[in-house]
Structure 1
Amino acid sequence: MAVSDYKGLLDSTFDRLAKARESHVYDFVPQEIGKVTSVSEGVVKVFGLPNVGYEELLKFPGELYGIAFNIDEDEIGVVLLGEDSELNAGDEVERTGRVMDIPVGDALIGRVIGPLGRPLDDKGAIAHEKRLPIERNATPIMDRAAVTVPLQTGIKVIDALIPIGRGQRELILGDRQTGKTAIAVDTIINQKDKNVLCVYCAIGQRASAVARVIANLRENGAMDYTVVVVTEGNNSPGLQYIAPYAATTIAEYFMEQGKDVLIVYDDLTNHARAYRELSLLLRRPPGREAFPGDIFYIHSRLLERSTHLSEELGGGSLTALPIIETEAQNISAYIPTNLISITDGQVYLSPKQFELGILPAVEVGKSVSRVGGKAQLPAYHTLAGNLKLGFSQFEELETFARFGSHLDEDTKKTIEHGKRIRACLKQNELQPQSVPEQIVVLLALTEGLFDFVPLEKMKVAEATLIKTVSELPAETLKKINSDSVMDTAELQPILEAAKKALASFLETSELPKDQT
């Protein structure tokens, strides 16, 4: 055969490989059977599949599947998507000619499934519309639109000071048992009647923790618009690795239908550990903290899929709330710093505030939203700036005041005002607040109406104030939820209602002249 013939054959083969990679189907290669040469925890080595493609799905005996991860000259390293207890050296391996995919469609809403698309909720089979690969390219930059619409979490401290927009990626991080999942669940519950579909992805969680989350979602009616994708801590590392990609594909399907979607990854610490375990078993070189060198890439290609599509593509959005666990408040560790650099901001939860009963334990000083301010409702703009400044001044003065007994009157007022801000930013779990309820409380705070309410009565005073929202004129409520700025005259009815509601809680018979 001439050299030109060899070149033509190679070009033809490479063209077919490229087309197969784009379509995620390797259907032009004849049937091949390989043999398992060794079995490790979640990983097997295979010999005898010369034409296998990278990330191709391989079938093992007993309906067990795996993904071709390492394609070396002599053998293939395969990540198993299930338990390997029945697998032995010498078993046959069969090519499927396709990559890992998952069923998508409206039938998934309200269901609890595994990362392979199998139901886990005893509600029968899922009649899916089609299947899509779990690994998909992120939307090109030119097909994206600016983040302009807020995603209300229902949590005052976040909506006012660390706002999140639809299409944003906001990291939630903190030590163990500081309320990270609680913030995500409250956000999902708050999407009721807001035309936002939700996907909750549990990665390597305890079965009891996942059951508690699902129970909370059901009790609050959130399962009507939520898909739950679950891998437990005792599942194979392969299943934990593919879970967030499978969940993102489900969310992307709804986004491409022009819908707004929220996805929660709980949590990516377990995902990174699962990938490290697989990589070390496959003899990939370890790097910093023993993680493989491409750990940044696996998270960036996951989170880059969250975006706001342009109007030409339907205008749908995918908002991501990845959760990460820190150790001893070390946010400069490898995985946290990676994710901070990938995402558009972070909500940091402080264990100190959690121990003091300041819940949610959001530390405003270390939390930031790099996008959400542009998507925040104008009603917040007037109030949030003064609030954050007042709270920052209070935190500095509170620390300083511990070392001195004599304080001037202005300092005392600032500290007392800050204590009321902190009291108002406390919020019970599973009790998200609507925009008008938050605005009424924030307006009363910025106007100093709470400054004359005893601290022990703050919780009752806030609850009484929130009840006045139902008495506000319909025009005022509409204005609060609109995209237009509220002037002083429009805020006056809210202010008057707040003064009337708080009158019975004041320590003095009337407000100071500068507050009336």
Structure 2
Amino acid sequence: MRSPKDDYRFALRVSERGEVVGIGDGIAWIRGLPSVQLDELIGFADGSTGLVFQLGRDLLGAILLTEKHGITAGMAVTHVGRKLAIAAGDALLGRVVDPLANPLDGLPPHTAREVRNLEAPAPPLIERDFVSEPLYTGCKIVDALIPIGKGQRQLIIGDDGLGKSSLALDAVINQAGRKLICVMVLIGQPRSAVAATVDALRNAGALDYTVVVVAEANALPGFRYLAPFAGCALAEHWMRCGRDVLVVYDDLTRHAQSYRELSLLLRRPPGREAYPGDIFYLHSRLLERSTVLRPKFGGGSMTALPIIETRQGELAAYIPTNLISITDGQIYFDAKLFAAGTLPAIDIGRSVSRIGGKAQHPAIKTAAARIRLDYLQFLDLELFARFGTRLDAAVEDKLRRGRLLRALLKQDRLAPLPEQAHHAWLLAYGEGLLDAYPPQAAAALLPKLCAAVAAAGLTLDDAKEHWLATLATSLARQT
């Protein structure tokens, strides 16, 4: 048997070697390595690693990923010969990791063996299928009026502190028992907010099918930049395995700010609001990877819920307009609704789902057909009625029904509802079963109606008559 020593040949070997010129703010400037490529890993003499992010005529800029003993000027740098990749697989479910899949939850190292590149091309058109299955968030307004389908990219947008993250958290919690994997990417958030999110997932039993990717506010800008791509790579692995995945990016405003910080540190020419010229490509190449695959190519899906922050409700700002043009619709949170106590503070008039209606169940779609229009008309009439004008009976009836609908649409956070509950209140409202009750009393009856529907074992495919009989019987018992 031949040994490796028998194949050894004494010869001259040539390899590239660079050296560190400067270091600071998580960025290393390197001279040499003329054949290095963008997004290639490089190794430092002390065992640290970096990611090539900027190619210049004389120097190249690299993001520091790991730092062992302290990088100094003059230190040798060599090729690693591969792209940045992350471990993926079911072993990561229930874990809290950083963008390199290193554990952050104090548990033993995971045993995931599959590897996915952080940067990967979006699936070509021939591999994609139509959005045809609903993804239920548990929110009354979203599932009834702004439906989301598996494989859709639905933007959650609004000012800070209006409940955007709570809606995404409800959507994750509502996937219990649905054989759907969730990936939550927390970008630039303080440690207290990260801990609160993880505790909420754990208390709801949602952490078992969720992996949380964290790049905290005090992390290097390079880590915050890589976080959504790491979460996307994890979700893409399960999608390619034929499974359905929901990935939440919370939020892409901080991600864009991290990319701007990196670009300015690397002396790239600034553009509008000091963002680099490729800021649109940054998010488009991330979100375009979310889709539904044809059965021939695995049949999985990746649904994206990117979150973006506005200032004073300004939708025409640079980053919000970019994300609105990339995604398949938006859920807009309004500060005035939040101040008025209408929670969740979703503005139905400004929110839209461009393709989710094709995936909505026919029963819910039929029951909610006119509710959106009725609610928008009610808002206009209510504004007109404030002038104290005399109203006829038909307008008074619309105002009364509108106030009832507004009370029914209110919902507490961390309390998602199944789709049967949505169908129950939609039918009860649409058929006038709740007209005899004051708005608050009708809203208080909803849990009992949902319990009656669950006890009867009704499904969305059952006949409408069976639903109405069950709801009428339940209401009769309450009175």
List aligned pairs for 1:152-163, cutoff 5 A: 152-163=136-147
**Partner residue of 1:416?**
400
Q: 1:62 to 1:118 in 2, by over 3 A?
A: farther
Aligned mates of 1:289, 1:118 — CA distance in 2: 34
Aligned mates of 2:375, 2:253 — CA distance in 1: 31
The reply on whether 1:373 has 2:357 as its aligned counterpart is yes
**1:277 Cα offset (Å):** 0.5
Whether contact under 8 Å (2:121, 2:289) holds in the other structure is yes
**Partner residue of 1:501?**
474
List aligned pairs for 1:222-371, cutoff 5 A: 222-371=206-355
Secondary structure of 1:44's aligned partner:
strand
Aligned mates of 1:374, 1:281 — CA distance in 2: 45
Which among 413, 421, 435 is matched to residue 437 of structure 1? 421
Q: C-alpha deviations, 1:442-463, integer Å up to 9, x for none?
A: 1111112222211232332112
- The one-letter amino acid paired with 1:411 is V
**Partner residue of 1:91?**
75
**Partner residue of 1:124?**
108
Aligned mates of 1:161, 1:84 — CA distance in 2: 52
Secondary structure of 2:109's aligned partner:
coil
**Partner residue of 2:369?**
385
Aligned mates of 1:355, 1:89 — CA distance in 2: 54
Of 338-347 and 122-131, the range deviating more from structure 2: 122-131
**1:40 Cα offset (Å):** 2.9
Aligned mates of 2:405, 2:70 — CA distance in 1: 59
**1:399 Cα offset (Å):** 0.8
Aligned mates of 1:169, 1:250 — CA distance in 2: 17
**Partner residue of 1:402?**
386
Aligned mates of 2:231, 2:284 — CA distance in 1: 15
Q: C-alpha deviations, 1:408-449, integer Å up to 9, x for none?
A: 111111011011111111111111111111111111111122
**1:275 Cα offset (Å):** 0.3
Whether contact under 8 Å (1:150, 1:164) holds in the other structure is yes
Secondary structure of 1:146's aligned partner:
coil
Secondary structure of 1:327's aligned partner:
coil
**1:390 Cα offset (Å):** 1.1
Aligned mates of 1:202, 1:124 — CA distance in 2: 22
Whether contact under 8 Å (2:155, 2:305) holds in the other structure is yes
**1:130 Cα offset (Å):** 2.2
Whether contact under 8 Å (2:155, 2:324) holds in the other structure is yes
Unpaired stretches in structure 2, ≥5 consecutive residues: 1-12
Of 260-269 and 432-441, the range deviating more from structure 2: 432-441
The reply on whether 1:52 has 2:2 as its aligned counterpart is no
**1:133 Cα offset (Å):** 1.1
Aligned mates of 2:266, 2:448 — CA distance in 1: 61
Name whichever structure is richer in helix by fraction. 1
Of 447-456 and 302-311, the range deviating more from structure 2: 447-456
Aligned mates of 1:62, 1:333 — CA distance in 2: 44
Q: 1:30 to 1:127 in 2, by over 3 A?
A: farther
Aligned mates of 2:45, 2:79 — CA distance in 1: 12
- The one-letter amino acid paired with 1:237 is P
Aligned mates of 1:277, 1:84 — CA distance in 2: 24
**1:360 Cα offset (Å):** 1.1
**Partner residue of 1:510?**
none
Aligned mates of 1:449, 1:407 — CA distance in 2: 25
List aligned pairs for 1:216-227, cutoff 5 A: 216-227=200-211
Q: 1:457 to 1:504 in 2, by over 3 A?
A: farther
Secondary structure of 1:81's aligned partner:
strand
Unpaired stretches in structure 1, ≥5 consecutive residues: 1-28, 507-516
**1:232 Cα offset (Å):** 0.2
Aligned mates of 1:295, 1:62 — CA distance in 2: 34
Which among 26, 41, 53 is matched to residue 42 of structure 1? 26
- The one-letter amino acid paired with 2:83 is V
Q: C-alpha deviations, 1:38-97, integer Å up to 9, x for none?
A: 123122211121121111111235543221111122110112225799333222222211
Quote the RMSD (CA, aligned, Å).
1.7
Q: 1:361 to 1:464 in 2, by over 3 A?
A: same
Which among 209, 212, 222 is matched to residue 196 of structure 2? 212
Query: How does the TM-score come out when normalised to structure 1?
Result: 0.88
Equivalences, count: 467
Q: 1:85 to 1:290 in 2, by over 3 A?
A: farther
Aligned mates of 1:471, 1:55 — CA distance in 2: 56
Aligned mates of 2:185, 2:66 — CA distance in 1: 18
Of 314-323 and 378-387, the range deviating more from structure 2: 378-387
Q: C-alpha deviations, 1:253-299, integer Å up to 9, x for none?
A: 10011000000000000000000001111111111111000000010
Aligned mates of 1:456, 1:505 — CA distance in 2: 15
- The one-letter amino acid paired with 2:228 is P
Secondary structure of 2:349's aligned partner:
helix
- The one-letter amino acid paired with 1:225 is Y
The reply on whether 1:140 has 2:124 as its aligned counterpart is yes
Secondary structure of 1:496's aligned partner:
helix
List aligned pairs for 1:51-200, cutoff 5 A: 51-60=35-44, 62-81=46-65, 86-200=70-184
Query: How does the TM-score come out when normalised to structure 2?
Result: 0.94
Which among 464, 468, 473 is matched to residue 491 of structure 1? 464
Q: 1:235 to 1:82 in 2, by over 3 A?
A: farther
